[in-house]
Chain A
Amino acid sequence: MLDQEGGLVRGTLDLLVLKALSWGPRHGYAVAEWIHTITESELLVEEGPLYTALHRLEKKGWLVSEWGYSEANRRARYYRLSTSGRRQLRTEVSLWERYARAVGRALAAQVPSVA
């Protein structure tokens, strides 16, 4: 279940990236920082795969990138959600919630079999 993408369950990183951008355009570093903060550095072990995710999502048309200037006035690549990206985020969130609920219920079970 764990793969190379920073040690995350496949698709989780994509979901986090989409979520990170749901408040507006950010550059890659800001996305990384948000993920570190929000997950207390539990999830993103390596930062490189974050960029693979960003570019992959852009290729899929869920993100749009533009060059802009950072707070420190440095040229940086900003990403924002496209309309289809926003739609994708909603679908993935609900999918994830259903998945998590199901796994949670299974782990909380007290009865060995249904029979």
Chain B
Amino acid sequence: MRRVFRLRFARRHLEDEIDEELRFHLAMREQSLMQRGLTAGDAHLAAHKQFGDFATVRSSLLTLDQERERSMKRANVLDELKQDLAYAGRMLRRNAVFTTVAVATLALGIGANTSIFALIDALLLRRLDVVRPRELVVIGEPSRVGSLSSGSPRTDLFSYKAYTELRRRQQSFTGLLASGRTPRLFMTVGDTAGEPEHPRGRFVSGNYFHVLGVPAFIGRTFGDEEDANIGASPVAVISYDYWMQRFEGDRGVIGRTVRVNSAALTVIGVARPGYDGEIVGGRTEMWLPITMQPVLMANHDLLTDPTDSWFLLIGRLKPGLTLAQAKGEMETLIPRALMDISPDREFTDFVRNMTTSDIRVADGSRGLSGMRRTYFAPLVTLMAGVALLLLIVCANVANLLLARATARSREMTLRVALGAARPRLVRQLMTESLVLSLLGAGGGVLAGWWGSRVLLTIAADGGGPIPVNVAISGTVALFTIAAALLAVVIFGLAPALTASRVNLADAMRAQARSLSGGGMGGGGRGRRPSPARMVIAAQVALSLLLLVGAGVLVRSMWSLQHADIGMDRDHLLLVDLDPRAAGYLGERYPAIALDLAERMQRIPGVAAVSFSENGLFNGTESSSTVGIEGFTARSDKDSLINWDEVGPGYARTIGSHLLEGRDLTVQDRGPGARVALINETMAKFYFQGGPAVGRHIQLNPDSAAYQIVGVITDAQDHDLRATPSRRAYFSILNPIEVGPLRMIVRTVGNPAAMANTVRQVVVDRDRAIPIYGVDPLPALLKSNIRAERLVAKIAVGFGVLALLLAAIGLYGVMSYAISRRTGEIGLRMALGARPADVVRMVVWDATRLVLVGLGIGFLISLFAMRLLRGQLYGVGALDPASIAAAVSVLLASGALAALIPAMRGARVTPVEALRED
């Protein structure tokens, strides 16, 4: 409104000037014509005639003047900006210490934001580096990149049969690719008998590279021939990075043979530089044709059984088609395809109960990622924390500026006296802040780049590096600039307004007062609180939020780390094997398991050995709907249980307790041994405290039931946070199916120390058995709560920083207040106050300020902490202990920060105070 008015006003002003100028001309001309004898009327007419088209001239003059005005204004603004910048540069250079502290603090705050945002960008926002990523569509659950599910039909993952059927019949995509996990790869190059290497691999369909639009850098990528026949394409494509790193960029690698899991493969190509797969946070180094799976995983064909689901599908939309259209097609096509690939009753039932929400079709431009789901909440939490940290940083810089504003009041007074308008002063001061902030942003980008790497190292938690490509992308740079600009407004505006609030009369009065020597300034009672004090209170409030947040997150992590998980969490060692690959099938499977257990048992320091199919925190999970003797299920959900196949002495080995019956033994071997253990949760659910031993479980309607021989206490099996599920344990010595084998070794001392000895036992027994991992349970548990540990550690870091910044801020404000109150203190001392009284007075003054901040912070936390609730385990969002700790830490550091200036104040002598004025 106001602007429009001003424009009109400017125009009016120009019009008036033009009219006046032209009127003057016409009047003069008339006058001269009249002097030559014309009558007034004739002169008027003649003057106009001689002038020409008045209206046209007038309007063209107005246009010209308006244009001139506008360009002048522009030049003015630029000019002033140049002046402001030059002036700001001079001021900041002159106050080098102030500038360094402010820029460093800002760089810290902005850098912390940049580093977290760089991770968010890399993991959650950035699109795949492929041709037109927006056309890609994911079919299946994109977080299940490393999953394999057997035994029942699914729609979050697809079997090979389902994939080929969908690919053949679909109409929405120009191409549909499949991608699935590989087991750990063991690669040897040439005839080097050295340690095998483990490139990160992925089984992909032949059209993979064509659908994504990723060409070969050298050699070729896969084609349709790789899909043609099972086991007929012993080839591999490697990533550019892997080629550079493992083969030193040797072009001779094309055509070379490498041995991967005992199959000889020819390297046929290196993918385009920069492309490292469709899995975000899971850099792929080697692509293998899906058709080679049965060769690479001997005796374990995963392509034939229509329930072996382990593929995620990515389609490229045909031009003009939308995601919704593709989803529509899949909703009808997937059920039909599933029915057609298997006439099984299980499939028919599954499809009948299926709803459209079971069909997962989503935007694929950001690829697949298991990490995304794990780290989404942690990253958002960290982003919130780091934003708080930036606010605290802003508060600190604002305080520095406010202190300086007072120091500069003389300069401001002078400038006002010389005629500077207040908006001009504000602009000048804001320019200084802007320069500070941009310098801070520059430092922040560097700090952020480094910080995100540190974060990844912390996130890796001593394990392998997390392959996420963090980079200062355009998005990240924009974010940083936005953060810096926002920071300018937050920290710069109040000081600029304060500093420029110059009242000449006041300024003169102040001079007079200082002459009369009665300065009783400072933050005394009854006065409006100074902006600096309000900033400190805000800072304390924000710090409280961060500290309470850090406190509950740490407590939650601690609970997770020390929770009773129903087993001997400190002394177990898990050995992940696949004897099938070495030909241990049928009767040979239980035999090798028992043999290995016996050999491991003989190692000194080993307390007990058992084994299972699914393992603990390192493996797979089986689940089925079962029939329970004497229990009528109301729905399928009621009869769903998780199960495992375990060896003799399983309960004793993991450290679980028998509540009823007996543990499994070596006698539970052979086709007759249809026995099972169940956990407490399962016993309670189905038998409500009645005896469970002797009851029966029907795992498969077509075969004999399993008799329950024992009930054991609940144990967490694969996820620390999950509530224990109903779980049954069948004897692996009478295998339901031959699967992987996870040896469980209970040690007397540190399990990590036994890892090599245990591994050697397997190698000595048969070096053909692939060992996928030897992991102490504590390490597996640690990686199970990687995200929680990351957040807790970083939150503590932020909390400490916040505390430090708040303390520095308080120290600064109190020192300043003391220096202003020297006169008052001197007077008090002269009137008989002891130094202790002065200290008490100052510390109390600071404490009051902290208390106000704590009060505000507490009120905010009542709401803010609720947002954390979903991420907490075993601790409430408003954990009294965390709040109490945060409050006392803040109070203590507040008092400490005030103590130093207070002691200085207490040393003031009345004489000194007099001399000061």
Contact = CB atoms under 8 A, between A and B. Distances in A.
Given A58-B68, A75-B20, A28 B52 contact: no
B65 interface: yes
Contacts of A77: 17, 20-21, 24
A59 B68 contact: yes
Given A58-B68, A59-B64, A51 B24 contact: no
A4 B61 CA distance: 16
Given A59-B67, A59-B68, A48 B24 contact: no
B29 A48 contact: no
Given A29-B29, A47-B29, A55 B24 contact: no
A32 B50 CA distance: 11
Contacts of B17: 77
Contacts of A52: 57, 60-61, 64
A6, A28, A29, A58 — most chain B CB neighbours (10 Å): A29
Contacts of B860: none
Interface string B51-91: 11110110011001101100100000000000000000000
Q: Which one of A48, A55, A70 has the greatest number of beta carbons of chain B within 10 Å?
A: A48
Contacts of B27: 74
B28 A29 contact: yes
Given A47-B50, A47-B52, A27 B24 contact: yes
Contacts of A32: 25
A51 B68 contact: no
Given A49-B52, A49-B57, A56 B64 contact: yes
Nearest to B55: A48
Interface string A35-66: 00000000000111101100110110000000
A29 B22 CA distance: 9
B25 A47 contact: yes
Nearest to A76: B24
B432 to A, nearest CB: 32
Max chain B CB contacts within 10 Å: which of A32, A51, A58, A70? Answer: A51
A52 B61 CA distance: 6
Nearest to A46: B52
B61 A55 contact: yes
Nearest to A31: B25
Contacts of B28: 29, 70
Given A46-B50, A47-B52, A51-B61, A74 B67 contact: no
Contacts of A75: 20, 24
Interface in A3-37: 6, 27-29, 32
B125 to A, nearest CB: 49
A51 B20 contact: no
Interface residues on B, range: 20 to 34
A6 to B, nearest CB: 8
A49 B24 CA distance: 16
Contacts of B21: 27-28, 51, 76-77
Interface in A60-89: 70, 74-77
A41 to B, nearest CB: 10
Interface residues of A, number: 20
Contact of B25 (A51, A55, A59): A51
Contacts of A47: 25, 29, 50-52
A51 B50 CA distance: 13
A75 B64 CA distance: 22
A27 B24 CA distance: 10
Contact of B57 (A27, A51, A70): A51
Contacts of B20: 75, 77
Contacts of A48: 51-54, 56-57
Nearest to B47: A47
Interface string B609-649: 00000000000000000000000000000000000000000
Interface string B27-52: 11100000000000000000000111
Nearest to B62: A55
Give the most central of B27, B28, B65: most A CB within 10 Å: B28
**Which of A28, A52, A74 has most B Cβ within 10 Å?**
A52
A47 B20 CA distance: 16
B29 A55 contact: no
Contacts of B50: 46-47
B864 to A, nearest CB: 58
Contacts of B54: 48
A6 B50 CA distance: 10
Contacts of A70: 24, 28
A58 B69 CA distance: 11
Interface in A87-111: none
A105 B56 CA distance: 39
Nearest to B69: A59
Contacts of A55: 60-61, 64-65, 68
B427 to A, nearest CB: 26
A46 B51 contact: yes
Nearest to B31: A72
A7 B304 CA distance: 96
A76 B28 CA distance: 11
B25 A29 contact: yes
A29 B30 CA distance: 11
A28 B29 CA distance: 11
Contacts of A6: 52
A70 B20 CA distance: 13
Contact of B24 (A29, A46, A56, A59): A29
Contacts of A59: 64-65, 67-68, 71
Contacts of A58: 64, 68
A49 B27 CA distance: 17
Contacts of B22: 51
A52 B27 CA distance: 18
A51 B64 CA distance: 11
A4 B52 CA distance: 11
A32 B22 CA distance: 12
A49 B57 CA distance: 7
Contacts of B24: 27-29, 70, 74-77
A58 B21 CA distance: 14
Interface string B1-37: 0000000000000000100111011011100000000
A55 B62 CA distance: 9
Nearest to A61: B68
A76 B61 CA distance: 16
Contacts of B61: 51-52, 55
Contacts of B65: 55, 59
A55 B17 CA distance: 12
Contacts of B60: 52, 55
A73 to B, nearest CB: 12
Contacts of B64: 52, 55-56, 58-59
A100 to B, nearest CB: 27
A60 to B, nearest CB: 9
A59 B57 CA distance: 16
Contacts of B67: 59
A115 B61 CA distance: 51
B61 to A, nearest CB: 5
A51 B53 CA distance: 12
Which are the 9 A-B pairs with shortest beta-carbon distances?
Answer: A46-B52, A48-B52, A48-B57, A59-B68, A55-B64, A29-B28, A77-B21, A29-B25, A48-B51
30 contacts: A27-B21, A28-B24, A29-B24, A29-B25, A32-B25, A46-B51, A46-B52, A47-B25, A47-B50, A48-B51, A48-B53, A49-B52, A51-B21, A51-B22, A51-B25, A51-B57, A51-B61, A52-B60, A52-B61, A52-B64, A55-B61, A58-B64, A58-B68, A59-B67, A59-B71, A74-B24, A74-B27, A75-B20, A77-B20, A77-B24
Given A51-B25, A74-B24, A74-B27, 18 more contacts: A32-B25, A46-B51, A46-B52, A47-B51, A48-B52, A48-B53, A51-B22, A51-B57, A51-B61, A52-B57, A52-B60, A52-B64, A55-B64, A55-B65, A58-B64, A70-B24, A77-B20, A77-B24
Interface of A: 6, 27-29, 32, 46-49, 51-52, 55-56, 58-59, 70, 74-77
